[in-house]
Each structure stands twice: as C-alpha cells, then as structure tokens.
Structure 1
Amino acid sequence: MNSSQDQLAQFNITKLKANLDDPIMKEFKDFLAPVNLLAEESPGFVWRLKDENGDAAIEVETPFDDPLIFVNMSVWENYESLRSYTYDTVHNYFLKSRKKWSEKMDSHQVVLWWVENGHLPNLEEAKQKLELLKHNGSSPNAFSLRELYSEKGKLIES
C-alpha cells in the first residue's frame, strides 16, 4: 500500500473560547510563534501549514463554518518524531493547558494519515480525513493517536 518513503500527516482542530485578540487568549497567542518554531527545528519535522505571513494558520480560510475553529496541520518523517515534539517539549504544556483556551468538542480533534514523500496536504483533504475518522473509526486511511497504523497499513501498539 505505502512505501517506506511515506511521511505522517497530522491535522488537529480546536474550538477556541474566544477570538485570538481576546485577553483570555493572550498566552496561547503569544506562544504560537515560538512553539511553531520549535516544531520546525525538531528532528523529523517536514512541513506545517502557515498563513501568508508565514505565521501559524491564523489567517487561513478554513473549511469550517465556525470562525473559532483553529486549525493546525503538519507533516513529519514518522510518528516517533511527532510524538517526541508533542509530548517531550514545551508543546506538552499547551496540550495540558488547553482547557484555558479551548472548548470541549464532541468529535475527533486529531487525525493522522500517511502521505507520499513530498505531498503537502491541503485543508480540504485534512477535513475529509477527519470526517473519515469520525464516521468509520481508525483505519489505515485516517487514524487517531489511540489506534496508530504503520505505513504498510498495519495496526500498531500505541
């Protein structure tokens, strides 16, 4: 199915409690650039979605109707690189603190899938992967952090 050259795409959404200019969002907004720079400097990082200013995808038009849905998308060489950045750096603080800035959502907020080396996913593709996960559960085509699939399409321990 996939070659060993494949890379891991991740897409996540969050429903913010307020617009980024609201004072309750200050810490989140202030650390977007440094945390994104940390991602870019992390081993295994390939690419991330940016707006026209090269910043986080703040000014990107999303395929979601709610203006408070904040999107993040990146591509990594492998799951281990993504996992290390997510949980072993300051990024983990923001994960653990997310209730300060975001509302609980009833559906999946994170989806992973394998892409061919060099392919940069777009937001419509990412939204389709999130919908696929929501409707079908984890599969080799779109999976959650709880049910990881290898590049070859096999379920692996997470």
Structure 2
Amino acid sequence: MHLAELNIGRLLAPTDDPKVADFMDNLDRINGMGKRMPGFVWMSEGSGEPGTGNTENNIGDDPQLVFNLTVWEDLKSLESFVYKTLHAKFMDRKAEWFEALDQRHFVMWWIPEGHRPSRDEALAKLDQLRTLGPTPDAFDWDFMRAGHAPDPTA
C-alpha cells in the first residue's frame, strides 16, 4: 500500500498577483524537492509550465481554490518532506498566501501500489473526512499518529 494525500487551499489573490508571487516563484523549487525525496511516488501536475505547479487545475469554478495531490511510499516519507525540509518554512508562511478555511482542507488515505488517485477521488476522501471525521479510510495527522490508521508499510 501507498499513502495518498490531498491538501487544498484558496489563494488570497490570482496566481499572477504580487501578493502571492513569493509562493508562485518557489512552487517549482518545493515541488522539485518533494519529487527527489526518498519515498516520493507521484504528484498530480498541471501543464508543466514553469511556476504553475498544479495551480491551473483548480477546484470548481474558483481559479484561486487549488490543490496538491501526491502519493508516498509511507507516512515517514511524507512526514519527512512536510516537516523536515524547506517545505516546512513555506508551510509556516501559508497565511501570507492562503485564506484560512473554515473546514478541513487536508486528508490522507491508503491506496494500492500503482494507483494514481484522481482529483475527484481525492475530493471525495476529503468530503468523507469532513462528514464522518477521521476513519481508517480517510484521516489526518492526529488520527494517524494515534495509531488509528496503521501504516501497512511499517
């Protein structure tokens, strides 16, 4: 099994606005670092145009509601990237670029090796988490760390 994760956010301004320029200017750098991390498997990507990441693949009709969807070999690999690399410094600055959402915006779930989740599948997992709370089928960091969604790769 591999670990999929979805993180959504609503940018404070359009992707070409100076308010989010520092985020957009570093997107390829941070995504590239993630792709080189041990345990990285796959990332949903946009057109491949420099500096766009996956931001052109927005959610619904809102061009500022963007998502990041990745797959990792295990929790340890994802956790290492999120909290122990330059990514953590940018995550600490998220309030500079993203609105505070009033509902859950991050979900993880186990998938079979080789599976590449779609945006719709990932959004359904997020909706499941929002509706039911954390379960072994759709969970957050706290649920996972408490051992309620055991890492099948450990």
Q: TM exceeds 0.5?
A: yes
Name the residue aligned to 1:59.
Answer: 56
- Bigger proportion of residues as helix: 2
3-state SS of 2:67 partner = strand
Shift of 1:145: 1.3
Q: What pairs with 1:4-153 in structure 2 (closer than 5 Å)?
A: 6-53=1-48, 56-60=53-57, 62-148=58-144, 149-151=149-151
Please list every run of 5 or more consecutive structure 1 residues that lacks an aligned counterpart in the other structure.
1-5, 153-158
Residue by residue over 1:30-86, the C-alpha shift from the partner in whole angstroms, topping out at 9 and shown as x without a partner, is 0000000000000100000101226511222x4434221110000000000000000
Name the residue aligned to 1:3.
Answer: none
TM-score normalised to structure 1 length: 0.88
- The aligned amino acid for 2:36 is E
Please list every run of 5 or more consecutive structure 2 residues that lacks an aligned counterpart in the other structure.
none
Question: C-alpha distance in 2, partners of 1:146/1:69?
Answer: 25
CA contact (8 A) 1:17 1:101 kept: yes
Question: C-alpha distance in 2, partners of 1:52/1:16?
Answer: 19
| Identity across the alignment (%) | 35
Question: C-alpha distance in 1, partners of 2:100/2:126?
Answer: 16
Residue 63 and residue 19 in structure 1: after superposition, are their counterparts in 2 closer, same or farther (change >3 A)?
Answer: closer
Name the residue aligned to 1:156.
Answer: none
Deviation above 4 Å: which 4+ runs of structure 1?
none
CA contact (8 A) 1:8 1:77 kept: yes
